[in-house]
Amino acid sequence: MRGLASLVLVVGIMLGIYYFYFRQMPTTDPGTAPTQAINLTGVRMDLLQIAQSERTFISQNGRCAALDELISSDTLRMARTEREGYSYSISCSGNDFTASGSHPPAPEAGINTGLDCYSLSLGQLRRSAKGRY
């Protein structure tokens, strides 16, 4: 009888682990598929890398630089300025900058990406559903 109670307890714990770990895996944004979540994580990491390179460039040169200039000066090591449809850009205002990754809107009959733009300004990564920063 004690063995049966232990077995039921172990099965209950395993079902609880399954339910909370596998069934409720977090997504980065509501309504995103797992493959899209991977792409969005890559976009966020790229924007953080762009922002770090821009801060380094500003501290060395005293001014803000465009994305192409960061790449050509080897401050930013990126092979391309886009990822999975998201294109990156930097807008400067003195020593302040905003690094952005924008995605063109989905066609009306196509799949909705649920996200058009990310922007990074003053260390804050923000999402804009309308492509505005």
The string of pLDDT tens digits covering residues 58-115 is 889 888 888 888 888 888 888 777 888 888 888 888 778 888 888 777 655 545 444 4
Decide: helix, strand or coil at residue 50: helix
Q: Which residues of 88-111 are buried (b: 16+ CB within 10 A; e: fewer)?
A: bebeeeeeebbbbbbbeeeeeeee
Give pLDDT, residue 41: 81
Give pLDDT, residue 77: 87
For the chain, how are helix, strand and coil distributed in percent, rounded to 5?
40, 20, 40
Domain borders along the chain are 33-128
Q: What is the mean pLDDT of the chain?
A: 75
Instruction: Quickly state the pLDDT bin for 122 (edges 50, 70, 90).
Output: low
How do residues 24-73 score in pLDDT, each as one tens digit?
A: 555 555 666 666 777 778 888 888 898 899 889 988 988 888 888 888 88
Q: Are 61 and 75 in contact (CB under 8 A)?
A: no
Q: Which of 119, 113, 51 is nearest to 84 (CA)?
A: 113
Strands 96-102 and 86-93: antiparallel
C-alpha to C-alpha distance for 107 and 129, rounded to whole angstroms:
15
